[in-house]
C-alpha cells in the first residue's frame, strides 16, 4: 500500500505519546479546553479508520534491530478498523465529558487517558505477538494509574488498582508464554502469517489454552472477573472508557483475531463457549441483584463480554458478523450508560438505586438518552444492538450443540432485559418537585453515543461493508447471510420476542425490589477467592523471607558463590576429565607475556590480600583501589588505553565516594565475631570461586574454534575512518547494547535517590559542607574545574580516533564537579552547575533514544548511523556522523549519574549524626 497510508499508521501510535504529555502541560489550567484538545487525537484516529473502510489491508513495519529479529509489525484490516472506530470515537467523547465531570484540572488523569488510548491503538494495530503483548501491558499500567490516582490516600482505591494490575498482569504473563509456544511452533510471531499458516499438534493446543487464559482475565470472564467490579471505584470517565468500551475488549479482540486459525483446535471452542456462556448467565444474574448502578453495569459488562466471547470465539462467519456488530454496539450502549451514572451521581450525590428518587424528572434529556442506550442493549429495533442479536440467534439456529448455545444466549438476553429495566427503574423512577435542569456538558456525550447506536442500526448495509471482510475469513453455514433490520418471521425474531418477554417476567419477579437480595449464599465469591490467594502468597513469601533473608551480606554472597560452584562447576571439571576441554598448547599455557604483567599481577594480589586483613576501613578502601588501578595497568599493557582511561576514572570516583561514606562509619572494622568453621567455609568458597573463574577463563581462551571477531571490527572501523574501535562498538556497531546499559544507569540513579533520600533526617538545602570549608581548596577547585571540563569535552570529540568518547568524557566531567563538591559541599556544587542532575539523566537518555529513532526517519533501522554535513562559513565542508549525538546523550547521562550519586550521598553525609550533634563520640 501507499507509503503515506503507512506513515499515517505509524503517526497514530506516536502522536498519543506526545499528546499525553504536551496537552496537559500546555493547557492544564483550562480543564475543559484541555480535555477537548486531548479528544482531538482519538477523534483523528476514528476519522482515519473511517477512511480505510473498504480500502483493503495495510501492512507496514518498523525495524528495531533486524539481526535480533526485533521488528514492529503493524496491520490494518476490517477487525482492527472496528476497534479503532470504537477506541477513537468513544475515547474522544469520554475525554470531552471528563472536562465537565472533574471539578478541577486533572492533568494526570487526562494525560493517562490519552496514553491509554494510544496503548489500545497500538494493541489493535499490532501484527506481531510480542508487540501486541507490549501494548497489552501498557494498557494494564495505564489502568492501574487511572483506577488508583483520584484519591491515592484511600486504601480501597489503591487496593482495587492493585487487584486489577495483579490479575491482568499475572495472566498476561501466562498469555506471553502461550505466544512464545505458538510463535516457536509456527516459526513466526507475525500474527497474519500465524493465522494464515497455523501450527498444529500439542504445541498449538498448549499455546491456545495459555493465550485464552490471558484473554479471559483481560475481559473479566468468570472466575477471573473480580477485578472489574472492584475497579468501579474509578471515576466515571475511566469506567466508561476502560471498563466498557476499550480495555475489557482487548481479550475479546484477541480471541477474534486468532479465531480464524485456532477455532478448530481443541480445546478452543469448548473452552470459549463454556466460559463465555457461564459469564453471560452468572454476570446477568448478579447484575439483577445490584443496587449500586455502576456495579450493576459492571456485572452487566461481564455478561455482555461473555456473549462476545461466544460469538467471536465460535469460529463461524455468521457468529463473527454478529460478534463484530455487537462489539461496536456494546461500546455505544454501555459507555453512555456509565456516563449516565456519572451525571446522576454528579447531580444527586449518590449512585445507589435504593437512595435515588426523581432523577428522571430532574434530568429528562439524560433519561431519554439512557433509555435509548438500554433499548440497544436489550435488542429493540431499529437500534444496532437489535441487528447484532438477530445475527447472533441466526448463528446458532442450526441444530446439534448449537441448540444448547442458542438456549444459553436467549437466557442471557432475557437477563439483559431484566437488569436493563432495573437500571432504568433505579436511576430515573420517582417524582420530584425540582425543576428540570440537565447539565449539558455531561448529557451531550451520552446523547451522542446513544444516537450513534441508533443511527448505525438504520444502515446495516454500511456495517456489513465494514465487518464483512473479517467475517469472510471464517467458514459459513449460510454464506449469503447479511446484517439487516428485517429477515422475516423466522426463528431469530421469535427468539428476540421470547427474550424480551422472559426478561420482563424476570424483572417483575426479581428486579423491582430495592435493595436487592445478596447472591452470596448460593454463588461463590470471586473477591474472597482473590483475597485468599493474595493472603496465601504473602504468607508464603514472609515464611521464605524469614528463613532466607537474614540480613547478612556475607551469607548472601556465599550462597551466590556456592551456586556458581555447584551448578556450572561440576560440568566444567567433567568436561576436562573426559578430554572435551581445550586443546592445550604443547609447551603449556604462558604465565605472562611481559614482565610488566607479572609485576601488575603481584600488585593486584598483594593489595587484595592486604585488604582482606586490613583492620581500618580507610586502609581497606585504598587497598581495594590499588587492585583496580593494577587492573588498569593490565589493560594498558594489552593495548587498550581507552578501557584503561575509563577504569582509572571509575576507580577514582569510586574511591572518592567510598571515602565520603567512611565519614559516617567507625574508623575501624568491628572485631571478628564469626567462629572458625564459618571462616573456614568462607575461605573454601572464596578459593573455589577464584579457581573456578581462573580455570573457566583459561578454558574459554584456549577453546576458540572460530575466527576472532576483533579483525572484523577493525575492518569496519577502517571503513568508518575511525581508529577507536572500542568507541565505534559502543556508539555504532553495538549501540543497542549501550542504550540498554545507559537505561540501567538511569534506573540505578533513581534507585539511589529513593534509597538515600527516603529515610529520616534528610537535611534541607544550605547545610554546611563536609567538615567545614577550605578557602584554599575551593580556590584550587575553581581554577582546575574549567580545565578538567575542557579536557572532558576533548575526550568526547577525540573518541572517534583516539582514547575517549562519551562515557569517558562524562566520567571526567563528573570528576570536575566532585572536585568542586569536596571543599564546599552541595552549595558549591549548585553554584558550579545550577542544573538538576535529573535533567541531565533524562536529557541524555532522551537524546540517545531520539538519535536512534532518527534512523527510522531516514528510512533505516533504529540506531542506524548517518552522516550529516554541509558547507559552514569559515569552517568549510563539515561532516558529522549521527552517532556523535548518541555519544552526547551518553556523556550527559553519565555526568548526571555522577552528580545524582554525589548529591544524594551529600544529602545524607552532610547531616550530622545525633551523637556528634550532642557533642558525643560516635559509638
What is the per-residue burial (b if ≥16 Cβ within 10 Å, else e) of 549-561? eeeeeeeeebeeb
The answer to whether the beta carbons of residues 323 and 399 sit under 8 Å apart is no
Instruction: Count Cβ neighbours within 10 Å for each residue of 34-51 and write b for 16 or more, e otherwise.
Output: bbbbbbbbbbbbbebbee
The three-point CA angle 223-228-229 to 5° equals: 95
Q: What is the 3-state secondary structure (H, E, C) of 270-315?
A: HHHHHHHHHHHHHHHHHHCCCCEHHHHHHHHHHHHHHHHHHHHHCC
Radius of gyration over alpha carbons of the chain, in Å? 33
Q: pLDDT at position 915, please?
A: 43
8 A C-beta contact, residue 670 and residue 647: no
CA-nearest of 724, 729, 693 to 709 is 729
pLDDT at 152: 56
* Nearest by Cα to 830 from 738, 767, 756: 767
Task: Spell out the alpha helix ranges (H) of 105-226.
Answer: 107-125, 129-148, 155-186, 191-196, 201-218
Close Cβ partners of 109 (under 8 Å, ≥ 6 residues apart)? 98, 102, 146, 149, 150, 235, 237, 238
Task: Write down the pLDDT at residue 400.
Answer: 72
DSSP collapsed to 3 states, 80-125: HHHHHHHHHHHHHHHHHHHHHHCCCCCHHHHHHHHHHHHHHHHHHH
Neighbours of 896 (CB within 10 A): 26
Q: Cα(402)–Cα(413) distance, rounded to whole angstroms?
A: 16
Phi, psi of 870 (to 5 degrees): 170, 180
What lies within 8 Å, CB to CB, of 625 at 6+ separation is 651, 654, 655
* Residue 384: Cβ within 10 Å count: 27
**pLDDT below 50 — which residues of the chain?**
1-4, 6, 761-771, 913-923
pLDDT of residue 768: 45
The pLDDT score that the predictor gives to residue 762 is: 45
Question: d(Cα 815, Cα 833) in Å, to the nearest integer?
Answer: 13
At residue 481, φ and ψ (nearest 5 deg) are: -65, 135
Q: In whole angstroms, give the CA distance from residue 338 to residue 304.
A: 14
Q: Tens digit of pLDDT for each residue in 441-458? A: 899 999 999 999 999 999
Q: Is the peptide bond before 466 cis (omega within 30 degrees of 0)?
A: no
Please tell me the distance from the alpha carbon of residue 904 to that of residue 726, in angstroms, as a whole number. 32
- The cell for 626 is 590499588
User: Of 444, 441, 388, 452, which Cα lies nearest the Cα of 416?
Assistant: 388
Question: Which of 162-193 are b and which e, b meaning 16 or more Cβ less than 10 Å from the residue's Cβ?
Answer: bbbbbbbbebbebbbbbbbbbbebbebbbbbe
Hey, what long-range contacts does 695-698 have (CB within 8 A, 24 or more apart)?
Answer: 695/572, 696/568, 696/572, 698/582, 698/589
For strand 876-881 and strand 867-872, is the pairing parallel, antiparallel, or unpaired?
Answer: antiparallel
Q: Which residue has the cell 479465531?
A: 259
- Size of the chain, expressed as the number of residues it contains: 923
Q: For 647, which DSSP code?
A: H
Predicted confidence at residue 69, as pLDDT, reads 66
Whole-number pLDDT of residue 829: 79
Burial 231-252 (b: 16+ CB within 10 A, else e): bbbbbbbbbbbbbbbbbbbbbb
CA-CA distance, 662 to 624, in Å (whole number)?
14
Q: What is the pLDDT of residue 516?
A: 67
Angle, CA 380 vertex, CA 374 and CA 384 arms, to 5°: 80
The phi-psi region of residue 704 (left if phi > 0; otherwise alpha if psi is between -120 and 50; otherwise beta) is: beta
pLDDT tens sequence across 148-195: 876 656 777 888 888 999 999 999 999 999 999 999 999 888 999 999
Q: What is the dihedral of CA 472, 476, 480, 483, to 10 degrees?
A: -70
pLDDT of residue 659: 80
Cα angle for residues 136, 138, 141 (degrees, 5° grid): 120
Tell me if 470 sits within 8 A of 327, measured CB to CB.
no
Amino acid at each position: 500500500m501507499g507509503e503515506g497510508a503507512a506513515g499515517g499508521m505509524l503517526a497514530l501510535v506516536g502522536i498519543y505519546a506526545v499528546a499525553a504529555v504536551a496537552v496537559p502541560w500546555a493547557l492544564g489550567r483550562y480543564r475543559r479546553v484541555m480535555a477537548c484538545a486531548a479528544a482531538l487525537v482519538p477523534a483523528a484516529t476514528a476519522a482515519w479508520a473511517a477512511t480505510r473502510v473498504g480500502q483493503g489491508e495495510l501492512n507496514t513495519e518498523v525495524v528495531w534491530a533486524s539481526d535480533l529479529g526485533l521488528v514492529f509489525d503493524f496491520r490494518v484490516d476490517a477487525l482492527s478498523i472496528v476497534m479503532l472506530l470504537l477506541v477513537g470515537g468513544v475515547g474522544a467523547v469520554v475525554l470531552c465529558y471528563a472536562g465537565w465531570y472533574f471539578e478541577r484540572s486533572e492533568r494526570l488523569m487526562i494525560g493517562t487517558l490519552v496514553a491509554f488510548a494510544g496503548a489500545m491503538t497500538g494493541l489493535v494495530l499490532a501484527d506481531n505477538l510480542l508487540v501486541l503483548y507490549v501494548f497489552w501491558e501498557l494498557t494494564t499500567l495505564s489502568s492501574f494509574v487511572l483506577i488508583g490516582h483520584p484519591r491515592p490516600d484511600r486504601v480501597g482505591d489503591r487496593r482495587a488498582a492493585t487487584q486489577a494490575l495483579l490479575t491482568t498482569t499475572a495472566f498476561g504473563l501466562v498469555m506471553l508464554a502461550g505466544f512464545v509456544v505458538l510463535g516457536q511452533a509456527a516459526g513466526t510471531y507475525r500474527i497474519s502469517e500465524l493465522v494464515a499458516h497455523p501450527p498444529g499438534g500439542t504445541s498449538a493446543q498448549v499455546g491456545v489454552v495459555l493465550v485464552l487464559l490471558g484473554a479471559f482475565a483481560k475481559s473479566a470472564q468468570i472466575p477471573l472477573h473480580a477485578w472489574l467490579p472492584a475497579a468501579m471505584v474509578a471515576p466515571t470517565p475511566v469506567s466508561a472508557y476502560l471498563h466498557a468500551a476499550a480495555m475489557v475488549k482487548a481479550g475479546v479482540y484477541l480471541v477474534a483475531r486468532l479465531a480464524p486459525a485456532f477455532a478448530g483446535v481443541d480445546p478452543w471452542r469448548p473452552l470459549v463457549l463454556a466460559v463465555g456462556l457461564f459469564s453471560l448467565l452468572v454476570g446477568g444474574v448478579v447484575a439483577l441483584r445490584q443496587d449500586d448502578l455502576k456495579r450493576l453495569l459492571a456485572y452487566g459488562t461481564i455478561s455482555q463480554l461473555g456473549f462476545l466471547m461466544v460469538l467471536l470465539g465460535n469460529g463461524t462467519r455468521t457468529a463473527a458478523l454478529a460478534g463484530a456488530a455487537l462489539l461496536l454496539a456494546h461500546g455505544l450502549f454501555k459507555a453512555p450508560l456509565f456516563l449516565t451514572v456519572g451525571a446522576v451521581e454528579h447531580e444527586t450525590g449518590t449512585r445507589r438505586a435504593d437512595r435515588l428518587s426523581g432523577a428522571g424528572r430532574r434530568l429528562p434529556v439524560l433519561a431519554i438518552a439512557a433509555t435509548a442506550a438500554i433499548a440497544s442493549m436489550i435488542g429493540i429495533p431499529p437500534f444496532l444492538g437489535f441487528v447484532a442479536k438477530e445475527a447472533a440467534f441466526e448463528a446458532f439456529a442450526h441444530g446439534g450443540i448449537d441448540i444448547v448455545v442458542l438456549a444459553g444466549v436467549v437466557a442471557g438476553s432475557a437477563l439483559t432485559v431484566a437488569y436493563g429495566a432495573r437500571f432504568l427503574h433505579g436511576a430515573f423512577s420517582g417524582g420530584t418537585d425540582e425543576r428540570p435542569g440537565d447539565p449539558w456538558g455531561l448529557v451531550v456525550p451520552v446523547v451522542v453515543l446513544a444516537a450513534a447506536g441508533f443511527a448505525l442500526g438504520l444502515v446495516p448495509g454500511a456495517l456489513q461493508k465494514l465487518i464483512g471482510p473479517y467475517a469472510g475469513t471464517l467458514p459459513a453455514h449460510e454464506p449469503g447471510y447479511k446484517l439487516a433490520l428485517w429477515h422475516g418471521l423466522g426463528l431469530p425474531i421469535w427468539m428476540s420476542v421470547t427474550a424480551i418477554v422472559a426478561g420482563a417476567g424476570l424483572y417483575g419477579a426479581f428486579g423491582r425490589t430495592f435493595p436487592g437480595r445478596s447472591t452470596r449464599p448460593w454463588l461463590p465469591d470471586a473477591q474472597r477467592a482473590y483475597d485468599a490467594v493474595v493472603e496465601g502468597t504473602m504468607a508464603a513469601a514472609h515464611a521464605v523471607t524469614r528463613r532466607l533473608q537474614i540480613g547478612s551480606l556475607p551469607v548472601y554472597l556465599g550462597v551466590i558463590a556456592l551456586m556458581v560452584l555447584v551448578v556450572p562447576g561440576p560440568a566444567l571439571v567433567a568436561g576436562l576429565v573426559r578430554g572435551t576441554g581445550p586443546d592445550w598448547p604443547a609447551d603449556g599455557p604462558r604465565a605472562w607475556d611481559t614482565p610488566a604483567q607479572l609485576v601488575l599481577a603481584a600488585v593486584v594480589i598483594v593489595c587484595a590480600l592486604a585488604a582482606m586483613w586490613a583492620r581500618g576501613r580507610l586502609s581497606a578502601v585504598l587497598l581495594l583501589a590499588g587492585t583496580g588501578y593494577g587492573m588498569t595497568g593490565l589493560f594498558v599493557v594489552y593495548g587498550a588505553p581507552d578501557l584503561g582511561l575509563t577504569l582509572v576514572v571509575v576507580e577514582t570516583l569510586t574511591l572518592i565516594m567510598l571515602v565520603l561514606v567512611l565519614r559516617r562509619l567507625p574508623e575501624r572494622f568491628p572485631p571478628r565475631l564469626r567462629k572458625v568453621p564459618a571462616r573456614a567455609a568462607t575461605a573454601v568458597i572464596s578459593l573455589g570461586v577464584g579457581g573456578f573463574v581462573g580455570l573457566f577463563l583459561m578454558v574459554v581462551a584456549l577453546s576458540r574454534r572460530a575466527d576472532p571477531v576483533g579483525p572484523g571490527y577493525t575492518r569496519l572501523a577502517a571503513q568508518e575512518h575511525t581508529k577507536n574501535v572500542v568507541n565505534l562498538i559502543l556508539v555504532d556497531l553495538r549501540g543497542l547494547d549501550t542504550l540498554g546499559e545507559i537505561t540501567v544507569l538511569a534506573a540505578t540513579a533513581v534507585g539511589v535517590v529513593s534509597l538515600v533520600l527516603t529515610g529520616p533526617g534528610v537535611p534541607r538545602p544550605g547545610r554546611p559542607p563536609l567538615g567545614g570549608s577550605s578557602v584554599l581548596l575551593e580556590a584550587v577547585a575553581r581554577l582546575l574545574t574549567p580545565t578538567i571540563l575542557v579536557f572532558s569535552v576533548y575526550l568526547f570529540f577525540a573518541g572517534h580516533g583516539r582514547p575517549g568518547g562519551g562515557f569517558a568524557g562524562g566520567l571526567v566531567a563528573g570528576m570536575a564537579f566532585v572536585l568542586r563538591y569536596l571543599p564546599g559541599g552541595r552549595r558549591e556544587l549548585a553554584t558550579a552547575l545550577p542544573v538538576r542532575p535529573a535533567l541531565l539523566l533524562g536529557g541524555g537518555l532522551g537524546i540517545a533514544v531520539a538519535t536512534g529513532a532518527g534512523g527510522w526517519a531516514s528510512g533505516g533501522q533504529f540506531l542506524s548511523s548517518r552522516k550529516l554535513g554541509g558547507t559552514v562559513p569559515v569552517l568549510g565542508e563539515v561532516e558529522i556522523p549521527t552517532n556523535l549525538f548518541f555519544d552526547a546523550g551518553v556523556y550527559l547521562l553519565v555526568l548526571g549519574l555522577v552528580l545524582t550519586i554525589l548529591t544524594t550521598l551529600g544529602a545524607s553525609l552532610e547531616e550530622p549524626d545525633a551523637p556528634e550533634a550532642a557533642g558525643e563520640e560516635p559509638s
